[in-house]
Amino acid sequence: MPERAFVCWGAGGHAQVIAELMARNGDRLVALVDGAVVQSFMDGVPLLRDAQALDIWLQARGEGPVLSAAVAIGRCGPDRMQSLQWLRARGMEAPALCHPLASISPSSTLGMGSQVLAFALVAAQARVGDACILNHKASVDHECVLEEGVHLAPGATLCGCVHIGKNVFVGAGAVVMPRLHVGENAVIGAGAVVTRNVPAGATVAGNPARAV
């Protein structure tokens, strides 16, 4: 695969993870965008303060190979999807990023801009939406559906046929039992064991998980 040049929205800790993933895949980080970080974590890679600064940088770059976009925002909410759409509106591609040590079924699908980190699993017929994060050792079993903007924290497990709504956060080590539905914008606490459907916007924790 030819080298791809990425612009990354976000320059904190998650961006450092994504930059290493890019390097493992033979890709290259060419610019970071973040107003909350003091300096770039990579020599030679500019840190742009906001969208206006990125537009100026793109204009100065001129014509060239099509850039790729990555969004390194780990928090819940629609920010990841909105940022990805903003970058795509400037002509960037948004490929899914998959660590070479992840296990991804050939019958599964990954949405644009999604990220599958080391030792994560995506099983048969699973469907992962746009701008999702499957963090280290997260497991998505057969026929699960993840809508856009979902973040599975390290070690989170979705058993078979689980449906996760938009912008849901599933905490580290949490388990969602088979054939359950988690409504959009819900939060599942670290280590929770979810044994029943979770309403939209709810926060649940514990074993078995209960609303908090």
pTM value > 0.85? yes
Mean pLDDT by 10 residues, the chain (212 residues): 90 96 96 93 95 94 90 88 95 96 98 98 98 98 98 98 98 98 98 98 98 94
Predicted local distance difference test score (pLDDT) of residue 76: 80
Q: Are residues 36 and 58 in the same domain?
A: yes
Predicted local distance difference test score (pLDDT) of residue 12: 95
Q: Are residues 165 and 119 in the same domain?
A: yes
Q: Are residues 55 and 113 in the same domain?
A: no
Which of 38, 60, 88 lies at the terminal end of a domain, its last residue?
Answer: 88
Instruction: Return d(Cα 59, Cα 160) in angstroms, integer.
Output: 47
Asked about 142 being catalytic, the answer comes back as yes
Name the catalytic one among 14, 99, 142, 163: 142
Predicted local distance difference test score (pLDDT) of residue 31: 97
Domain span at residue 13?
5-88
Spatial neighbors of 45 by CB under 8 A, at least 6 apart, are 29, 30, 31, 32
Predicted local distance difference test score (pLDDT) of residue 74: 86
Predicted local distance difference test score (pLDDT) of residue 65: 87
Predicted local distance difference test score (pLDDT) of residue 77: 82
Predicted local distance difference test score (pLDDT) of residue 3: 87
Please state the φ and ψ torsions of residue 118, each to the nearest 5 degrees: -60, 135
Residues 106/26/148/212 CA torsion (nearest 10 deg) = 100
Q: Are residues 101 and 38 in the same domain?
A: no
